[in-house]
Structure 1
Amino acid sequence: MATMTVSLPDPMKEWIEAQIAKGEYASASDYVRDLVRRDRARRDQELTIEELRQIVADSRASGTGNRSVDEVFAEAERIAAARGLIRE
């Protein structure tokens, strides 16, 4: 396993030490590894600019919809919840 040295402001260092003291993490390394795993999982769920542009283009090409704003937002919430971005 590789070693990496990171400099943190005192409040951040104290925060990590508090999480370790609570028993949530075994060490600062354990805490940082968890942050990296969570960040990678979150980024894996993000859409790229190209994907967003394609969604907009598809939407424009499909013409005027017949769903209400409430229906559109309900669907958006279902999609976000399925991706773990919000809780239902």
Structure 2
Amino acid sequence: MGTMNISLPDSLKAFVDQQVEQGRYGTSSEYVRELIRKDQDRQQLRDLLLTGAASAPSVVADAQYFDGLRTRVRQSSGS
């Protein structure tokens, strides 16, 4: 595992310390890792949304489409 040192203003360091003290995270490093993972997830979602927005529509998402989707979900769940 690599090491990275970061500098934070006192107010941000106090916030991170508070998160650790409240038991949400074991260490400040754990907190920063979680923030990075969430940012990676956000970036991946953004990329998927942009890809979808740039693609041509394949079907019209009207009431009939959603009725069919509900039917398929009910059939696959055994309801």
TM-score range with shorter-chain normalisation?
Answer: 0.5 to 0.7
Note closer, same or farther for the CA distance 1:52–1:27 as it changes in structure 2 (3 Å cut). same
Q: Which structure 1 segments of 5+ residues have no match?
A: 60-66, 68-88
**Could you tell me how far 1:46 is from its partner in structure 2?**
0.4
Match of 2:42 in 1: 42
Deviations 1:8-34 (A, max 9, x none): 000000000000000000001000000
Counterpart in 1 of 2:22? 22
What's the Cα RMSD here?
2.4
TM-score, with structure 1 as normaliser = 0.56
CA distance in 2, matches of 1:16, 1:9: 11
Specify the SS of the correspondent of 2:4. Answer: coil
Identity of aligned residues (%): 33
Name the CA distance, whole Å, in 2 between partners of 1:4 and 1:10: 18
Q: Deviations over 1:24-68 (max 9, x none)?
A: 0000100000000000001000037x747735xx58xxxxxxx8x
Larger Rg: 2
Point out 4+ residue stretches in structure 1 off by more than 4 angstroms: none
Q: Give the whole-Å Cα distance in 1 for the aligned partners of 2:53 and 2:27.
A: 42
Aligned residue pairs: how many?
60
Unaligned 5+ runs, structure 2: 63-79
